[in-house]
Amino acid sequence: MTINYQQLLNRKFEPIEHHYSEKDSMLYALGVGLGIDPLDEDCLPFVYEDGLKAFPSMAVVLAYPGFWAKEPDTGIDWVKLLHAGQEVILHKPLPATGRVEATTRITDIVDKGEGKGALIISERVVRDQDSGEALCTLITTAMARGDGGFGGPAVASPKPDPIPEREPDLLCDLPTLAQAALIYRLSGDFNPLHASPAVARDAGFKAPILHGLCTFGVATHALLKTLCDYDPTRLQRLRVRFSSPVYPGETIRTEIWRNGNEVAFRCRVVERDVVVINNGYAEVG
């Protein structure tokens, strides 16, 4: 099968309801590395029920629609699909427990040409189920490496956010646990690539890799720590491009450039000096 532009753009998604508990919020925070130092009282409010707060990047797992690209009606060569970018807009702080719902929609498909793949951009707005208030908007960019040249309209790819050509204003090094992927997957992404050494080897990796959205959570931690004094109400928007995988147990260094309330950032693995998140952009209050 190949992508049918209009059919995929107009694809209907069923609404997803998601009820999450304090335990779910704590498990997510543990999965992205909060609590590695059990004596760090700044992290404790995200992993301990006394005064529990939801970690901001937990937005990415709320009302998650699943791996819909694998469904035959999409026409996507899902084996060659990569998570290329993620944006999170936080309309209000996430509650530590909640009943939410969301519907996914495809907002754009960019045909980069034969042999160059296609970008598929989707959006979901997560709302409180009782009040109907929007909590967050999630914009996901997927690179369909095997689907370029399907005849879509010729439009330009979204431009990446720039990284300043000077030394960063701030650095934040955060370790990841060797079992980080095994913990993070319990928040809903059960792709065996992140758990099975055999599957990872078949995919060309020396070991299971960390979920891209887990790396995104570590970057969020770095921004919350260095810019927001661990106050989740101050983080309003994050946008990143994924550039390389992380192996659990590696240290992620976030390089940060401030321009008022706007922030540019990128992340690299210290041990291998490889950029793993690039063209990061954030807004803080």
* Banded pLDDT at 78 (limits 50, 70, 90): confident
Does 128 share its domain with 199? no
Does 97 share its domain with 9? yes
In the predicted structure, residue 198 carries a pLDDT above the cut 90 = yes
Q: Do 250 and 176 form a contact (C-beta atoms < 8 A)?
A: yes
In a domain, 212, yes or no: yes
In a domain, 162, yes or no: no
Does 35 share its domain with 97? yes
In a domain, 92, yes or no: yes
What tens digit of pLDDT does each residue of 143-188 get?
Answer: 999 999 999 887 888 899 999 999 999 999 999 999 999 999 999 9
Closest C-alpha to 69, from 15, 147, 131: 147
26's tokens: 């704590």
Residue 205's domain comprises 170-284
The reported pLDDT for the residue numbered 79 is 83
The reported pLDDT for the residue numbered 183 is 98
| 3-state helix vs strand vs coil in the chain, percent to 5 | 25, 35, 45
In the predicted structure, residue 1 carries a pLDDT above the cut 80 = no
Q: Do 220 and 57 form a contact (C-beta atoms < 8 A)?
A: yes
The reported pLDDT for the residue numbered 110 is 94
Q: How many Cβ atoms from other residues are within 10 Å of residue 223's Cβ?
A: 23
What tens digit of pLDDT does each residue of 35-75 get?
Answer: 999 999 999 999 999 999 999 999 999 999 988 998 999 99
C-alpha distances out from residue 229 to 135, 205, 225, 266, Å: 22, 36, 5, 20
Closest C-alpha to 52, from 72, 66, 35: 35
Does 82 share its domain with 199? no
* CATH label of the domain that carries residue 256: 3.10.129.10
In a domain, 163, yes or no: no
The reported pLDDT for the residue numbered 220 is 98
Residue 154's SS3 state is coil
Does 10 share its domain with 139? yes
d(CA 32, CA 43): 11
In a domain, 160, yes or no: no
In the predicted structure, residue 113 carries a pLDDT above the cut 80 = yes
Does 26 share its domain with 139? yes
* Banded pLDDT at 120 (limits 50, 70, 90): very high
Q: Do 282 and 238 form a contact (C-beta atoms < 8 A)?
A: yes
Q: What is the overall mean pLDDT for the chain? A: 95
Task: Name the residue with higher pLDDT: 193 or 221.
Answer: 221
* Banded pLDDT at 208 (limits 50, 70, 90): very high
* Percentage with pLDDT > 90 across the chain: 90
Query: Which residues form the catalytic set?
Result: 189, 194, 209, 212
**Residues 6+ positions from 40 with CB-CB distance below 8 Å:** none
What tens digit of pLDDT does each residue of 239-283 get?
Answer: 999 999 999 999 999 999 999 999 999 999 999 999 999 999 999
Strand partners, 144: 81, 118
Domain count, the chain: 2
Residue 25's SS3 state is helix
State mean pLDDT over 207-219: 97
Q: How many Cβ atoms from other residues are within 10 Å of residue 178's Cβ?
A: 12
